[in-house]
Amino acid sequence: MPENNSTGKFSRRKFVKGFGATVAGAVVLNPSIPKITKSLQKKIKISEKIKLNFNLNGKNVSTDIYPYNTLLEVLRKNMRLTGTKKTCNNGECGGCTVIINKQAIYSCHILAMDIEGKDVLTIEGIGDMHAGEVIRKAFKDMDGLQCGFCTPGQVMSAYALLLNNKKPSLDEIKTAMSGNLCRCGAYHNISASVIEASNKL
Amino acid sequence: MTRKLIKSVINIENKEHEFIGEVSLLEQETWGKNDTLKIIGKEISRIDAVDKISGTASYTSDINLPGQLYGKFLRSPYPSAKILKIDLSKANALKGVKHILTYENTAKYKWYYETSFLLDPIVRYEGDEVAFVAAESEEIAEEALKLISIEYAKLPFVVDTEKASTEKNIKVHNWGNIVEPSEYKRGNIETGFADADFTIEDEFRTSVVLHNPTEPHCSVVNWDNDELVIYDSTQAVYQIRELAANALGIEQEKVRVIKKYMGGGFGSKLDLGKYTIAAAIVSRELKKPVKVVMDRKEQNLCVGNRPDSIQKFKVGIKKEGLLTALQLNSMGTVGAFPEGAGLSWPAKTMYKCPNLLVNEKSILTNAGAARAFRAPGHVQGIFGLESLMDECAAKLNMNPLEFRLKNYTEVDPVSNQPYTSKKLKEAYKKAADLIGWEDWKAAGSSKSVNRIGLGMASQIWWGGGGPPAHANIKLDKKGNITIYSGTQDLGTGTYTFIAMVASEVLQIPIERFNVVIGDTKLCPYAPVSGGSMTAPSVSPAVRDAAERLKEKLMDTAAILFDEEKNSIKYSNGFCVNSDGSKKVSLSEIAGHLNEQDLLIKGSRNENPKGYAINTFGAQFAKVEVDTLTGKVTVLKISASYDIGRVLNKLTLDNQIRGGIIMGLGYALMEERIIDENFGKVLTTNLHTYKIPTMMDIPEIVIEIASDYDPMISNTGVKGVGEPAIIPTAAAIANAVNNALGVRIKSLPITPDKVLIALYVSK
């Protein structure tokens, strides 16, 4: 929203939706991440920009955000990293998957201010790491993609899985990757890519 | 003369199109089987894979131009209404709002085959465009939509297909609710039924389904001086150029359409979007770029779907298994604007049946308009037809495969022309062997709680491609080679096969080739990427261009060596003279050329006359049905196809599996649901509209039955994108019937339908 919004309104639904998801994420996925911090503090004014500091792909960054911005919006707009895709924007497809403190998270479903001080890893950040390189090569060799639009999200979910489980079974792979939809239906090759990467790591 | 101008007729997505264009007359030796070739047919990783996997690939929705505005549509909340009053004052007062288009301030751009306008005071479905806001940010545009006040007069509506077909009082358009009624006759239907030993009547239904490509429909539009540049997530750059130019009343040469990567289309991105033209109007007015990206809800309401179907069959059969007559009455809804819901091509062409009568109707309802969706008509039609063929076989206590083989046809039953190639028998055998068809038992043999069933279905589609399709190949002075073609890569591997074909001809590694596609300014014309015609149209043009380049290199080498051209040999990127004493590489030849760039045009040949060109295939399914919960689990699918030559085995298998998975979704879970009381769609997101996930996929085994089509082109390639999805739902439905002994006659086969069918049958 513009700072001097003449109506004084903000998109409350969006804010509440993001807030709710953060709670769900915190409870269901992993109690340690992502902790609700600033979004619970009522003193924040929704129409005023706040400073956000976090670690993005190994570098400390700082950017001005609105409290209602999702992490996905901040990554794509503020940080100009368009590898993370906006596909459903509703926590249903996994196209926007990033890694926060070693866990795969839908970035469309977390408020950016809740990642204050946290480590965020995106598709652009994994290429320099050995595991990232191995996973990317596996997706290429096994053709774990078609149109490629869901691919960054798939790669990030695979990365998070292999980070926490070096030798996942096929069932574990299916469970870990089932939140990442691929309409082209490259699923067989995606799971084969994860297995290939797991064998090479 | 190595080129000629011709007129050709090609069937794209169920519609016949006439093309006038240039074809190549260059005689080229047909390639042998793939095992005699160096790279074609091998498993080759995509040349664009790294770009996509690393997140650096720039899709249309990733493109941002300096100073761009963001566009958003205000959409009708009602399925049918007249706009009485529009108040923009509050929205216009919001800081950052730059322009708002409504029907009151916008020219009447004709839309939907001239049945409506870009912005129409009558709205005919939930989601119909009412106003277009351009603002400095997406958030401001969204906020402005809420500040626009519209007074509507709600009108009666109809969203049920059958109801709309007989409805006298509620009309979607004032001329009625029925478009394109058509009739097809062959032989004499009465005599056909009189000759039959048995007749069966049955009805099959399918649901409206939604494309849901991962990348939403989007455009980024900019007027660069007097040139309109459109970045569009499209399957058809040249078609968008033509349609956009026509819509705006400007010359095609003033429009440039660019699409490097796209996140899926499946038919829904063949058409020009209202968002593209609205953005262009604002961009021209304000002299700023405008970006419009649909959200998931808009995508599921407004940019296409597959029509539903109600298929009523009557079939006559002889005791020994021959079809004597087939009658089909079908209808399906195309939403609020004219489109085709025809589905009878499989009934007309799949089997030898002398007597046929088909009547089809497309029905208007107050819902989003249909668009081509991966094998339009055939996916619905094969489900009905192949369910019916199984019923026929059951009536005669015959194996379903044997019944189909009895009615096998060696000529196209509509045109009576022979096929350029038909390896369906071979495909049946391979797919049957892969599933273990010898274990097939009559339906309902199992009485256990979890019942296993086997089923099969056949497939026919066009997919032969055709002219005009061109590819330019450019050799620069340093020996770099770039291939340009106005085609598209939907995720199907177009970039890669273009490099592979050129690599095969010029015998140098694929890494040596740059491929530029999807840009109307840089690339020569190639057809839309629909109808499974990209590879069969474009690969021959690429080979033609590469062969012509090879000739040119040998011409140049002859001059350099001062020898006759026919003594020069070309091998692995080198030209060698008669006694082998002189050798010059492709790059060295390029360096000798005083033309800075050598640009050579290659073209697709004309299709052979007097032949039908079709793809064929079969899928067999093994399912398990839990009779307590009604849940169907697909355990395995086997698939075999005649799709001509395989270009890239790696991407081919991936694409076929993808089609099967989409077909599995169609069979078991996908369905657009509309609340009949309010006319609103309840399945506008991916939570309510279920598509298959990694948890749903069965084992899939694929074997290709064809080596190459010997007649259609210098590569012998046919298309596979649509064939892949066509038989899946029918094969699964037949397997479910085989497991239960009860047939579910409507898609999707959800647990409730299974339980009800079991209950009723008791």
How high is the pLDDT of residue A11? 36
Residue B711 lies in a domain: yes
Nearest to residue B497, comparing CAs of B238, B232, B715, B211? B715
Instruction: Using the 3D structure, point to which of B572, B603, B634 is the last residue of a domain.
Output: B603
Instruction: Using the 3D structure, point to which of B575, B603, B631 is the last residue of a domain.
Output: B603
Q: Does B685 contact A149 at a Cβ distance shorter than 8 Å?
A: no
Residues 6+ apart with CB under 8 A from B571: B507
Q: What is the CA radius of gyration of chain B?
A: 27
Instruction: Using the 3D structure, point to which of B540, B568, B603 is the last residue of a domain.
Output: B603
The answer on B245 and B390 residing in a single domain is no
Tell whether B384 is within 8 A of chain A (Cβ): no
Residue B6 β-bridge partners = B21
Residue B458 lies in a domain: yes
pTM score, two decimals? 0.95
Alpha helices in B40-198 (DSSP H): 49-53, 89-93, 138-147, 161-166, 189-195
The answer on B646 and B756 residing in a single domain is yes
- Yes or no: say if B301 and B124 are a contact pair by the CB < 8 Å rule: no
The answer on B712 and B619 residing in a single domain is yes
Tell whether B698 is within 8 A of chain A (Cβ): no
The answer on B320 and B283 residing in a single domain is no
Which CATH number do you get for residue B207?
3.30.365.10
Tell whether A175 is within 8 A of chain B (Cβ): yes
The answer on B329 and B404 residing in a single domain is yes
What is the identity of the amino acid at A159? Y
State the average pLDDT over residues A164-192. Answer: 97
State the average pLDDT over residues B564-586. Answer: 94
Residues of A in contact with B688 (CB under 8 A): none
Residue B415 lies in a domain: no
The answer on B725 and B741 residing in a single domain is yes
The answer on B314 and B389 residing in a single domain is yes
Q: Which chain B residues in 727-756 lie under 8 Å from chain A, judged by CB atoms?
A: none
- Yes or no: say if B299 and B217 are a contact pair by the CB < 8 Å rule: yes
CB atoms closer than 10 angstroms to residue B564:
10
Tell whether B490 is within 8 A of chain A (Cβ): yes
Give the residue from B694, B699, B701, B728 with the most A CB atoms within 10 Å of its CB, the best one to mutate.
B694
Give me the residue from B51, B140, B662 closest to A185, CB to CB: B662
Strands across the sheet containing B470-476: B513-517, B481-485, B470-476, B597-603
Tell whether B661 is within 8 A of chain A (Cβ): yes
Q: Determine which of A112-121, B4-13, B157-166 has the lowest per-residue pLDDT on average.
A: B4-13
The answer on B176 and B81 residing in a single domain is no
Give me the residue from A66, A95, A123 closest to B214, CB to CB: A95
What is the per-residue burial (b if ≥16 Cβ within 10 Å, else e) of B435-448? Answer: bebeebeebbebee
Q: Say yes or no to pLDDT of B449 above 90.
A: yes
Residues 6+ apart with CB under 8 A from B275: B71, B73, B132, B217, B218, B219, B292, B294
Min Cα distance B239 → chain A (Å) is 21
Minimum Cα–Cα distance from A88: chain B residue:
B296
Overall number of domains in chain B:
4
State the average pLDDT over residues B266-288. Answer: 97
State the average pLDDT over residues A174-201. Answer: 97
How high is the pLDDT of residue A39? 55
- C-alpha dist (Å) from residue B155 to B158, B364, B591: 10, 16, 72
- pLDDT tens digits for B290-341? 999 999 999 999 999 999 999 999 999 999 999 999 999 999 999 999 999 9
How high is the pLDDT of residue B11? 75
pLDDT bin (cut points 50, 70, 90) of residue A31 is very low
Tell whether A83 is within 8 A of chain B (Cβ): yes
Q: Does B95 contact A4 at a Cβ distance shorter than 8 Å?
A: yes
Q: Say yes or no to pLDDT of A12 above 80.
A: no
How high is the pLDDT of residue B8? 84
Mean pLDDT for all residues in chain B: 96
Nearest to residue B276, comparing CAs of B300, B251, B259, B296? B259
State the average pLDDT over residues B402-426. Answer: 97
How high is the pLDDT of residue A42? 52
How high is the pLDDT of residue B148? 98
Q: Which residue has 């309010």 as its token pair?
A: B678
Give the integer Cα–Cα distance in Å for B622 and B660: 13
Q: Say yes or no to pLDDT of A38 above 60.
A: no
Q: Say yes or no to pLDDT of A7 above 50.
A: no
Q: Determine which of A9-18, B234-243, B533-542 has the lowest per-residue pLDDT on average.
A: A9-18
- Yes or no: say if B526 and B538 are a contact pair by the CB < 8 Å rule: yes
How high is the pLDDT of residue B292? 98
Give the residue from B43, B53, B68 with the most A CB atoms within 10 Å of its CB, the best one to mutate.
B53
How high is the pLDDT of residue B657? 98
Residues 6+ apart with CB under 8 A from B592: B556, B560, B584
CB atoms closer than 10 angstroms to residue A126:
24
State the average pLDDT over residues B701-726. Answer: 97
Q: Does A183 contact B216 at a Cβ distance shorter than 8 Å?
A: no
Tell whether B234 is within 8 A of chain A (Cβ): no
Residue B608 lies in a domain: no
Question: What ipTM does the predicted assembly reach?
Answer: 0.96
How high is the pLDDT of residue A14? 38
Q: Determine which of A170-184, B586-600, B658-672 has the lowest per-residue pLDDT on average.
A: B586-600
Q: What percent of chain B is predicted at pLDDT more than 70?
A: 100
Q: Does B59 contact A149 at a Cβ distance shorter than 8 Å?
A: yes
Give the integer Cα–Cα distance in Å for B508 and B454: 47
- pLDDT tens digits for B474-501? 999 889 999 999 999 999 999 999 999 9
Minimum Cα–Cα distance from A151: chain B residue:
B53
Q: Give the tokens for residue B93.
A: 């007062």
Give me the residue from B53, B687, B693 closest to A178, CB to CB: B693
Residue B572 lies in a domain: yes
Q: Say yes or no to pLDDT of B445 above 90.
A: no
The answer on B485 and B459 residing in a single domain is no
Residue B371 lies in a domain: yes
Residue B475 lies in a domain: yes
The answer on B381 and B284 residing in a single domain is no
State the average pLDDT over residues B383-387. Answer: 98
Q: What percent of chain B is predicted at pLDDT more than 90?
A: 94
Give the integer Cα–Cα distance in Å for B293 and B220: 8
Q: Give the tokens for residue B231.
A: 């970045």
The answer on B595 and B730 residing in a single domain is no
Q: Does A147 contact B262 at a Cβ distance shorter than 8 Å?
A: yes
How high is the pLDDT of residue A10? 37
Give me the residue from B54, B650, B686 closest to A181, CB to CB: B686
Which CATH number do you get for residue B139?
3.90.1170.50
Residue B592 lies in a domain: yes
- Yes or no: say if B361 and B331 are a contact pair by the CB < 8 Å rule: yes
Nearest to residue B571, comparing CAs of B667, B644, B646, B507? B507
Instruction: For B2-93, list the strands marked E by DSSP.
Output: 3-12, 15-24, 69-75, 81-87
β-pairing, B323-335 vs B69-75, is: unpaired
Min Cα distance B521 → chain A (Å) is 23
- pLDDT tens digits for B632-651? 999 999 999 999 999 999 99
Give the residue from A4, A64, A147 with the most B CB atoms within 10 Å of its CB, the best one to mutate.
A147
Q: Say yes or no to pLDDT of A17 above 70.
A: no
Which residue range forms the structural domain that includes residue B283?
63-155+214-264+269-302
- pLDDT tens digits for A73-131? 999 999 999 999 999 999 999 999 999 999 999 999 999 999 999 999 999 999 888 99
Give the integer Cα–Cα distance in Å for B336 and B369: 5
Q: CA angle A80-A86-A88, nearest 5°? A: 165
Give the integer Cα–Cα distance in Å for B726 and B14: 14
Q: Does A92 contact B215 at a Cβ distance shorter than 8 Å?
A: no
- pLDDT tens digits for B137-159? 999 999 999 999 999 999 999 99
Maximum mean pLDDT: which of A135-144, B3-12, B21-30: A135-144
The answer on B400 and B342 residing in a single domain is yes
How high is the pLDDT of residue A25? 34
Q: Tell which phi-psi region holds residue B397, choosing left (phi > 0), alpha (psi between -120 and 50) or beta.
A: left
